[in-house]
């Protein structure tokens, strides 16, 4: 302990109320005392509560510390000790922003403090806010550039709405805190990134934006916040890609388990423990932190848990995919992927659906000036990931005359897409103005016949294109009624940006941005009721940020 202690992150803000807010930060030592000093003269003190993250690890593929190549330091997953500190600042006056900083005392008495930032209570109605709309950062190449341009263009935002997929592997600690590539989740959102981006021979280092030290962040669970079956040997990426449906895990538990069912399901199905330990969110719904609602100024934000296991669309015989199991695993059901199975029920009659129905009829929602719903999976999109339909896979097992399994296939009936069949009618009836989502790594937006706006704004450097014209999704060719190869499979036409759309080779305006060179962010301005989208071409680092689209929330 001879070296000076370091904070693993700057502080960030969580769960504001009318007179309080939470301050959270992380260290790699448990410490003896952790405090926040705050007030005009930093003359007030409050102590933090500390917990140790239970599942953060590094592994063969981590890019952290001295490991710059695979297997240099870690040959298997290794626990990484990280402590989370949270203090509640109370007695705040709405509308009044005050300075604060955090202090952590190590066991040997050495103290480290953050820089001074500012915080405020939850904004009152009629307070004009600038809210960053974003998703799918996942350590993608343009993330730091994107967030740096947010602060350079907009200045300080008041809140962040994040529609899921914060990192790639939720239990890999370095993806949150200190990946060697300089673009981990917290550094990018705290202006501490060191992300190098090379375009056209120019190597530029972007630092991200100093955002969440001053503005609370509200995330939704994406599929990348879900970890699959636990292992001491398999890489964390293999564990992420190995979730098992709860009902299948329960069957296996009753057959062979000798531990509690709750722990078995965490280890042999899937879990969101790391996400839930990192963030302090409203937890008064039937799903706890997994889905929630909160009022911020004039906005009622409703956050859903709509995500499913990502599987390859390939139909190759060696692939555990969306539409089939691998031939080599046909007689070993414990190795099956069970298709693109849904993590949290959302269909009519489920706990989440009933909670949402009640929330949409609540006074808090009904009286809000702006009604926003956020989820990860797209209801409408030009991206690949809107197909197949968001429904439980129908398993079809083909056997020969002797009963031997010859194939295991999965179908997804379009008429049972829960987001379209069950959720969208609720949103229409409740006069929701904006649905924010992610998952397909592009910018596109839609408006349905009820006037609901649908927006994905997640173009940070891992785009797979937009399915229009000759660019087709990889779908089974013999089932076009369920799996649309192009367009929005749920019937809406994409909106061409209103101000400065990109154009194709024939100079025709494009209704999307799907680029690994041009990054996009969007801002909800509650002062004038607009959602504005901006683009920045990283190939031209000295170019201006361009506002290319804007629409009003009526």
Give the CA-trace dihedral at 39, 283, 170, 105, to 10 degrees.
Answer: 30
Longest dimension (CA), the chain: 82
Q: How far is CA 364 from CA 178, 293, 301, 424, in A?
A: 39, 9, 10, 20
> What's the distance, CA 271 to chain centroid?
15
Distance CA 66, CA 81 (A): 17
Specify the residue for token string 């879990």.
271
Plot region of 208 (φ>0 → left; ψ -120 to 50 → alpha; else → beta) = left
Buried/exposed code over 488-527 (b: 16+ C-beta within 10 A; e: otherwise): bbbebebbebeeebbeeeeeeebbbbbbbbbbbbbbbbbe
Contact residues for 546 (Cβ-Cβ < 8 A; gap 6+): 500, 534, 535, 536
Contact 163, 375 (CB under 8 A): yes
Specify the residue for token string 């809000």.
368
Tell me which residue of 94, 98, 110, 107 sits closest to 37, measured CA to CA: 98
Distance CA 444, CA 553 (A): 16
Six-digit token string for 322: 């969306």
Quote the pLDDT of residue 235: 97
Distance CA 465, CA 444 (A): 11
pTM of this structure: 0.97
Task: Give the tens place of pLDDT for each residue, 278-300.
Answer: 999 999 899 999 999 999 999 99
Walk along the chain (554 residues) and give the pLDDT tens digit of each residue.
668 999 999 999 999 999 999 999 999 999 999 999 999 999 999 999 999 999 999 999 999 999 999 999 999 999 999 999 999 999 999 999 999 999 999 999 999 999 999 999 999 999 999 999 999 999 999 999 999 999 999 999 999 999 999 999 999 999 999 999 999 999 999 999 999 999 999 999 999 999 999 999 999 999 999 999 999 999 999 999 999 999 999 888 776 667 788 888 889 999 999 999 999 999 989 999 999 999 999 999 999 999 999 999 999 999 999 999 999 999 999 899 999 999 999 999 999 999 999 999 999 999 999 999 999 999 999 999 999 999 999 999 999 999 999 999 999 999 999 999 999 999 999 999 999 999 999 999 999 999 999 999 998 888 889 999 999 999 998 777 889 999 999 999 999 999 999 999 999 999 999 999 999 999 999 999 999 999 999 999 999 999 999 999 98
Contact 424, 358 (CB under 8 A): no
Six-digit token string for 172: 């890999």
Contact 121, 17 (CB under 8 A): yes
């Amino acid at each position: 302990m001879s070296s000076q202690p370091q904070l693993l992150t700057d502080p960030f803000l969580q769960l504001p109320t009318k007179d309080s807010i939470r301050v959270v930060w992380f260290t790699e030592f448990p410490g003896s005392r952790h405090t926040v000093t705050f007030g005009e003269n930093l003359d007030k003190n409050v102590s933090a509560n500390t917990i140790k993250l239970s599942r953060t690890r590094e592994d063969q593929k981590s890019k952290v510390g001295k490991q710059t190549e695979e297997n240099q330091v870690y040959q298997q997953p290794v626990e990484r000790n990280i402590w989370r500190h949270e203090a509640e600042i109370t007695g705040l006056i709405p509308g009044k922003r005050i300075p604060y900083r955090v202090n952590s005392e190590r066991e040997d008495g050495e103290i480290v403090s953050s820089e001074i930032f500012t915080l405020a209570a939850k904004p009152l109605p009629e307070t004009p806010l600038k809210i960053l709309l974003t998703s799918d950062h996942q350590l993608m190449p343009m993330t730091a550039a994107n967030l740096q341009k947010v602060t350079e263009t907009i200045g300080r935002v008041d809140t962040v709405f994040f529609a899921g997929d914060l990192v790639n592997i939720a239990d890999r600690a370095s993806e949150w805190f200190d990946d060697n590539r300089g673009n981990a989740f917290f550094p990018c959102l705290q202006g501490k990134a060191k992300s190098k981006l090379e375009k056209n021979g120019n190597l530029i280092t972007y630092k991200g934006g100093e955002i969440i030290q001053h503005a609370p962040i509200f995330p939704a669970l994406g599929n990348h916040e879900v970890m699959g079956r636990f292992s001491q040997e398999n890489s964390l990426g293999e564990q992420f890609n190995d979730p098992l449906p709860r009902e299948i895990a329960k069957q296996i538990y009753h057959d062979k388990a000798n531990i509690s069912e709750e722990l078995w399901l965490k280890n042999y199905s899937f879990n969101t423990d790391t996400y839930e330990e990192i963030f302090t969110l409203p937890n008064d719904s039937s799903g706890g932190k997994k889905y929630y609602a909160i009022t911020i100024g004039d906005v009622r934000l409703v956050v859903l848990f709509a995500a499913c296991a990502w599987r390859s669309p390939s139909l190759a015989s060696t692939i555990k995919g969306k539409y089939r199991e691998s031939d080599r695993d046909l007689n070993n059901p414990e190795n099956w992927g069970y298709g693109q199975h849904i993590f949290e029920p959302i269909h009519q009659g489920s706990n989440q659906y009933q909670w949402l129905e009640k929330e949409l009829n609540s006074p808090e929602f009904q009286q809000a000036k702006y009604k926003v719903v956020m989820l990860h999976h797209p209801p409408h999109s030009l991206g690949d990931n809107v197909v197949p339909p968001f429904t439980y896979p129908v398993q079809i097992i083909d056997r020969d005359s002797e009963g031997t399994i010859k194939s295991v296939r999965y179908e997804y009936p379009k008429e049972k897409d829960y987001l379209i069949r069950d959720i969208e009618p609720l949103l229409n009836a409740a006069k929701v103005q904006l649905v924010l989502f992610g998952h397909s790594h592009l910018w596109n937006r839609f408006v349905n016949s009820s006037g609901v706006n649908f927006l994905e704004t997640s173009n940070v450097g891992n785009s797979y294109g937009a399915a229009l014209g000759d660019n087709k999704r990889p779908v089974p060719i013999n089932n076009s009624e369920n799996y649309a190869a192009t367009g929005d499979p749920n019937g809406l036409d994409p909106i061409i940006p209103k101000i400065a759309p990109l154009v194709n080779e024939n100079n025709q305006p494009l209704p999307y941005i799907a680029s690994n060179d041009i990054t996009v962010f969007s801002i909800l301005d509650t002062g004038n009721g607009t959602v504005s989208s901006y683009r920045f071409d990283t190939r031209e680092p000295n170019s201006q940020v361009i506002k290319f689209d804007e629409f009003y929330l009526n």
